[in-house]
Structure 1
Amino acid sequence: MKRRTLCLALLAQALAVAGCGDGSPASATAAPPPTVITALVWAPDWPQEMHHIAAAFTRAHPDIKVNVQFMIGNSVEENLKPRVASNQLPDLISVNPNAYAAGLAAQGLLADVSGTAAWSNMLDLLKPDWTTANGQHFGIASGVAATLIYYNKAMFQQAGVHRLPTNFDEFLAACALLKKAGLTPLILDGGFPNMLGNGPFSYGFANNVAAARPDWRRQLASGQLDLDTAETADIFAKIKLLAARGYVQHGYMNTSYDQGIRLFAEGKAAMAFEGSWAAGRLLGGKTVDAGVFIPPWNAAGKTVVPVVGSETGFAVCNTRNRAAAMLLLEFMANAGYPIQQNARHNISSMKRVDGQLLTDPQLSAYMQQVSQYASAVPPYYAFLPANSIETLHPLLQDVLSGKITPRQAARKLDASVRSASAAGRKD
Structure 2
Amino acid sequence: MLQIAAEFGKLNPDIRVNVQFMIGNSVEENIKPRIASGNLPDLVSVNPNAYAAELADQGILADVGGTSAWKNMLDPLKGDWTSRQSKKFGISGGVATTLIYYNQDMFAKAGITQLPTNFQEFLVVCDKLKRAGFTPVMWNGGFPNMLGNGPFSFGFANNVVAREPDWKRKISDGTLDLNTPQVADIFAKILLIADRGYVQEGFMATDYDQGIRLFKEGKVAMAFHGSWAAGLFLHGNPFEVGVFIPPWNAPGKRVVPVIGSETGFAVCETPNKVAATRFLEFIAGKGFSILQRKRQNIPPFKQVDETMVSNPKIADYTNRVSRFSVTASPYYSVLPSNSIERLHQLMQDVLFKKITPRQAAKRLDESVKNEAKMHYK
After TM superposition, the score normalised by the length of structure 2 is 0.99
> Is 1:305–2:256 an aligned residue pair?
yes
- For 1:360-399, list aligned pairs within 5 A: 360-399=311-350
Partner residue in 2 for 1:288:
239
Is 1:338–1:355's contact at 8 Å kept on the other side of the alignment? no
Name which of 154, 163, 166 aligns with 1:212. 163
- For 1:191-202, list aligned pairs within 5 A: 191-202=142-153
Q: Distance in 1 between matches of 2:159 and 2:236?
A: 34
- Which residue identity lines up with residue 144 of structure 1 in the other structure? V
Partner residue in 1 for 2:271:
320
Q: Which has the larger radius of gyration?
A: 1
Partner residue in 2 for 1:405:
356
- Which residue identity lines up with residue 339 of structure 1 in the other structure? I
After TM superposition, the score normalised by the length of structure 1 is 0.87
2:286 is paired with a residue of what secondary structure?
coil
1:93 is paired with a residue of what secondary structure?
strand
- For 1:128-277, list aligned pairs within 5 A: 128-277=79-228
Following superposition, the deviation at residue 87 of structure 1 comes to: 1.9
1:101 is paired with a residue of what secondary structure?
helix
- Which residue identity lines up with residue 367 of structure 1 in the other structure? T
Following superposition, the deviation at residue 284 of structure 1 comes to: 2.9
Following superposition, the deviation at residue 287 of structure 1 comes to: 1.6
Q: Distance in 1 between matches of 2:126 and 2:193?
A: 9
Q: Distance in 2 between matches of 1:365 and 1:342?
A: 18
Following superposition, the deviation at residue 355 of structure 1 comes to: 5.8
> Is 1:91–2:45 an aligned residue pair?
no
Q: Distance in 1 between matches of 2:323 and 2:265?
A: 28
Partner residue in 2 for 1:115:
66
Hey, which bits of structure 1, 4+ residues long, moved more than 6 A?
A: none
Following superposition, the deviation at residue 134 of structure 1 comes to: 2.2
Following superposition, the deviation at residue 351 of structure 1 comes to: 1.8
Cα displacement string for residues 357-403 of structure 1 (whole angstroms, at most 9, x for unaligned residues): 11111111101110120021111000100110010001101101111
Following superposition, the deviation at residue 164 of structure 1 comes to: 0.4
RMSD over equivalenced CA pairs, Å: 0.9
1:140 is paired with a residue of what secondary structure?
coil
Cα displacement string for residues 296-333 of structure 1 (whole angstroms, at most 9, x for unaligned residues): 00000001000000000000011111000000000000
Partner residue in 1 for 2:283:
332
- Which residue identity lines up with residue 232 of structure 1 in the other structure? V
Q: Distance in 2 between matches of 1:286 and 1:304?
A: 29
Q: Distance in 1 between matches of 2:144 and 2:89?
A: 27
- Which residue identity lines up with residue 346 of structure 2 in the other structure? L
Name which of 15, 19, 25 aligns with 1:74. 25
Cα displacement string for residues 209-262 of structure 1 (whole angstroms, at most 9, x for unaligned residues): 111001111111111111111000000000000000000111101111101101
Structure 2: gaps of 5 or more residues: none
- Which residue identity lines up with residue 344 of structure 2 in the other structure? H
1:146 is paired with a residue of what secondary structure?
strand
Q: Distance in 2 between matches of 1:378 and 1:155?
A: 31
Following superposition, the deviation at residue 354 of structure 1 comes to: 4.0
Q: Distance in 2 between matches of 1:178 and 1:96?
A: 36
Name which of 22, 35, 57 aligns with 1:106. 57
Following superposition, the deviation at residue 155 of structure 1 comes to: 0.6
Is 2:119–2:250's contact at 8 Å kept on the other side of the alignment? yes
Give the length in aligned residue pairs: 377
2:19 is paired with a residue of what secondary structure?
strand
Q: Distance in 1 between matches of 2:165 and 2:224?
A: 26
- For 1:336-355, list aligned pairs within 5 A: 336-354=287-305
Q: Percent of pairs identical after alignment?
A: 62
Q: Distance in 2 between matches of 1:425 and 1:174?
A: 43
Cα displacement string for residues 163-190 of structure 1 (whole angstroms, at most 9, x for unaligned residues): 0000000000000100010111001111
Is 1:333–1:353's contact at 8 Å kept on the other side of the alignment? no
1:291 is paired with a residue of what secondary structure?
strand
Is 1:184–1:268's contact at 8 Å kept on the other side of the alignment? yes
Q: Distance in 2 between matches of 1:355 and 1:367?
A: 19
- Which residue identity lines up with residue 101 of structure 2 in the other structure? Y
Cα displacement string for residues 62-120 of structure 1 (whole angstroms, at most 9, x for unaligned residues): 00010000110000001111111222211000000000000000001111111100001
- Which residue identity lines up with residue 28 of structure 2 in the other structure? E
Structure 1: gaps of 5 or more residues: 1-49
> Is 1:356–2:307 an aligned residue pair?
yes
Is 1:266–1:288's contact at 8 Å kept on the other side of the alignment? no
- Which residue identity lines up with residue 101 of structure 1 in the other structure? A
